[in-house]
Chains A and B, each alone.
Chain A
Amino acid sequence: MRPSHKSATLLVLIPLILLAPVFFPSSFYYRVGALIFINGLAVTGMVILIGYAGQISLGHAGFAGIGAYSCALMPVHWGIPPVLAAVFGAVISALLAWLVGRPILRLKGYYLAVATLGFGILVYMVLTNETWLTGGPDGMNVADSGLRDLAKSLGINMKNSEFWYWLCAIVMVAGVWLAMNLQDSPTGRALRAVHGSEVAARTVGVDVARYKLQAFVISAVYASVAGSMVALQNEFVTPDVSGYMHSIEWVTMTVLGGAGSVLGAIFGAAILTLLPQVLTAFAEYEQLLLGLIMMLVMIFMPDGLLPSIMRRIRGKDE
């Protein structure tokens, strides 16, 4: 047990968030930063699922879709304020994750991967095809959340991009705080026991199915809130928010950065969100380079970027 783990993670994360804007050449980078935090929130949920409980999902963008479209649809049809709609969206995602998770979490490894992928694609298809409700592939507007006006009335006057940078940062840090609390808690230990050895976990009394389901539901809520943040920030959604490429991106970010730690996964999210921006300089070789970098990292750093780097630093100290 490393009780200082949580404080260490927050001590690294918060100064980075506070200092980063000093180096931003233009306000465009606030948008990139906000995107990193939104991905960071989703991958924090993935760490609970993959890193703690040892399960996989290639369909979590489906829950992001539910979070995003809740913010779009509920204000129009039921007159619910967009921010409250995000909360309801998270509740719906949790219920759906519970319903879907019960049967499919009996599956293991690549069977589970395919089943969750199917779920994600199903959500994407519904959002794309039910044009009468969702506007189809063209997407739909999301009502102004009023959060910026609220901030203004409190005397905080920022540009839109800056405002969302800070708001997404706060939401992500809250998510990280919860995930770090969980890690060293009895529930976190039970989840990691399931990951370590299901047979032994059962022997000490862990209801394996129940804990897998908990991890699945919690990570679905993270993905849902991430989707809601996208919708509220852009004031516009398309079914793309639930596209399976996002699910795969999140898993890649988590594994690339280091699935075992929240900080590692957020590092992975930052790298994979930034790299395409940097690699645009190489124009048509962008995708090629991105793929190559990912392959090299996984071959030479199978534990993920951050754990491997940390080990190298510690190794030199000795």
Chain B
Amino acid sequence: MSALLSVEGLGISFGGLRAVHDVSFAVKPGEILSVIGPNGAGKTTLFNMISGVYRPGAGRVMLNGEDVTAMRPDLLARRGMSRTFQNLQIFQNMTVLENAIAGFHLTESGSLMADLLRLPASRARARTAREGAMRLLERVGLERAAETDAGNLSYGRLKRLEIARALALDPKVLLLDEPAAGCNAVETEEIDHMIAEVAASGVAILLVEHDMKMVMRISSHIVVLDHGEKIAEGDPATVSRDPKVIAAYLGAEAGEETDA
């Protein structure tokens, strides 16, 4: 099967600092590709380039055979890319249910006039989105919090809400930026199952995660970044034995110790 998402020679510099340099990889449908690396290795920067938040300085991003380098995030969403954020991006001014419904924007939105006059067409679209959102909330275990203001949810539950919202787009490619950060062991396992389930339905998943146990358990493929460059790539067993990877992680830890 050909790759759904591929990046080729992707790079970016911020004020002379090479944040990401010459990174390439590809994700196939149903595959979970994890990007790991010490703090500051450029993982989130890489994510932001792929999802159109940053314009890459070099290289290109291909989605489903189409060049989507530096494309606006809303246009990427139309082409089947969806993402979550490391530092939550929740609509704090809405209820939990409304946040999930917002994920259905592309299928729910229609004519402004129909919305202003509350025509049956507008109501039907809204109802379908609401039902879909409710099903997703059930899937992530938030159905009982549906009418709560999103701002009142715990961090772990907001993480799940973000995943529900991302799934609402029915994406072909899903980018998850540390979905288990701040979650307890039980929640992490739930998220774990959910990701595997989504991948099994044929979605290509790109994952950034610090929880190594989770990464080793669910990834089909791992890319290791250090100082913005890809230093290793392969299946979990190969990568975990790679001396360069071990050095990068130990080096980072040693560095942190001397800093302290």
Contacts and interface: CB of A to CB of B under 8 A. Distances in A.
Given A1-B95, A197-B90, A189 B118 contact: no
Contacts of A190: 102, 105, 109
B1 interface: no
B239 interface: no
Contact of A192 (B91, B106, B122, B130): B91
Contacts of A260: 93
A188 B115 CA distance: 8
A192 B90 contact: no
B126 A186 contact: yes
Given A1-B130, A204-B77, A204-B168, A186 B108 contact: yes
Contacts of B106: 204-205
B53 A195 contact: no
Contact of A200 (B90, B115, B125, B129): B90
B105 A196 contact: no
Interface in B103-121: 103, 105-106, 108-110, 112, 115-118
Interface residues of A, number: 29
Interface string A191-214: 011011101111111111000001
Interface stretch (B9-17, B78-86, B252-260): B78-86
B197 interface: no
Interface centre among B85, B112, B166 (most CB of A within 10 A): B112
Contacts of B82: 203-204
A258 to B, nearest CB: 13
Nearest to A208: B74
A1 B89 CA distance: 20
Given A196-B90, A202-B73, A203-B73, A189 B105 contact: yes
A18 B126 CA distance: 33
A279 B126 CA distance: 47
A9 interface: no
B94 A204 contact: no
A188 B105 CA distance: 11
B151 to A, nearest CB: 10
A186 B116 contact: no
Given A192-B91, A196-B94, A197-B90, A178 B109 contact: no
5 contacts: A1-B130, A181-B116, A190-B105, A200-B102, A202-B77
Contacts of A196: 90-94
A201 B126 CA distance: 17
B98 interface: yes
B173 to A, nearest CB: 13
Nearest to A178: B116
Between A181, A182, A188, A196, the greatest number of chain B beta carbons within 10 A of the residue's beta carbon is seen for A196
Contacts of B95: 1
Nearest to B52: A202
A186 B82 CA distance: 19
A196 B93 CA distance: 6
Scoring A188, A195, A199, A200 by chain B CB atoms within 10 A of each residue's CB, the highest score goes to: A200
A184 interface: yes
A131 interface: no
A157 interface: no
Given A1-B147, A185-B116, 14 more contacts: A1-B98, A1-B101, A186-B125, A186-B126, A190-B102, A192-B91, A192-B94, A200-B91, A200-B102, A204-B105, A204-B165, A204-B169, A205-B77, A208-B74
Interface residues of B, number: 42
Contacts of B77: 202-205
Contacts of A205: 74, 77-78, 105-106, 169
Interface string A146-189: 00000000000000000000000000000000100110111111
Given A181-B115, A186-B125, A204 B93 contact: no
- Most chain B CB within a 10 A radius of its CB, from A199, A204, A206, A260: A204
Contact of A181 (B101, B102, B118): B118
Interface in A201-237: 201-208, 214, 218
Interface in B41-94: 51, 53, 72-74, 77-78, 82-83, 85, 89-94
B27 interface: no
B199 interface: no
B46 to A, nearest CB: 16
B126 A184 contact: yes
A3 to B, nearest CB: 10
Interface string B158-170: 0000000110110
Nearest to B115: A185
Interface in B186-206: none
B97 interface: yes
Interface centre among A1, A186, A187, A207 (most CB of B within 10 A): A186
A307 B212 CA distance: 46
Given A1-B97, A193-B102, A205-B106, A186 B129 contact: yes
A199 B53 contact: yes
Nearest to A197: B89
Nearest to B116: A178
Contacts of A203: 51, 73-74, 77, 82-83, 89, 166
Given A196-B91, A199-B53, A207 B115 contact: no
